[in-house]
Amino acid sequence: MRAGIVDACRASGRAPEETTLIVVTKFHPASLVAGLSALGVRDVGENRHQEAQAKAAELQDLDLHWHFIGQLQTKKARQAAQYARSIHSIDRDRLVDALSTAEVAEPIDAFIQVNLTNDPGRGGAAPEALEPLAEQILGTSTLRLRGVMAVAPLPEEEAAARAFARLAGYSERLRAIDPEATAISAGMTHDYAEAIAAGATHLRIGSAITGKRPEPR
Ligand SMILES: *Cc1c(COP(=O)(O)O)cnc(C)c1O
């Protein structure tokens, strides 16, 4: 996997050190996450609160950086803030409100998820909500604005490269508000090369590393 990332970085003139590899461990048991940790993995991604909460509790001695990458219910937000050091799926004002009242030792790294499709059911904020959400996050003491996040549309809807080019534009808009919010969380097993070419800084890769996922429970 790392070799593929290094190749993709080289092809687009980027330094591999500019990218953080988050290993997505959803649906896998905590034992698999422990195994990854033993191999040196520090950044892990989960998309369901209950599952993530249980794994983080079981593995709390491992000093892992838990990235929450799935849709987050407002009423679960404060709980997720207890273990997640990064939340990639911030997409509405009520979620920011809830997180603004979380009890955190350090601000949580906040990514605004932008919907790259026209289907509101996919998760992510509409592009026009980007600036208001950014301002709202900057007004909290519990969140540190890091950047944008997106999931590519299905390949038959739109090529990932085109969609990620739009995401790069949203990232630029965000940096106009906060020059430090430079992160772009994009790229999964099948589109990480396109994401790197478009400037991704945080890759969320599951099956290419963990193999096939078990069925969700
Ligand atoms: C599952 C998931 C990933 C990883 O997907 P793979 O195709 O297994 O690499 C990345 N991002 C999100 C939001 C996910 O839910």
* Closest ligand 1 atom, residue 213 Cα: 8
Radius of gyration of the chain (CA): 16
> Whole-prediction pTM value?
0.98
Q: What was the pLDDT predicted at 137?
A: 98
Give the C-alpha separation, 58 to 82, whole Å.
14
Whether the Cβ atoms of residue 28 and residue 213 lie closer than 8 Å to each other: yes
CATH superfamily of this structure's domain 2-210: Alanine racemase (3.20.20.10)
DSSP single-letter state for residue 215? P
- Ligand 1 centroid to Cα of residue 187, in Å, is 8
For the chain, the structural domain boundaries read: 2-210
Give the C-alpha separation, 134 to 136, whole Å.
5
Q: What was the pLDDT predicted at 216?
A: 82
- CA distances to 45, 117, 126, 155 from 131, rounded to whole Å, are 26, 18, 11, 28
Could you state, in chain order, the average pLDDT of each consecutive group of 10 residues for the chain (217 residues)? 94 96 98 97 98 98 97 98 98 98 97 97 96 98 98 96 98 98 98 98 97 86
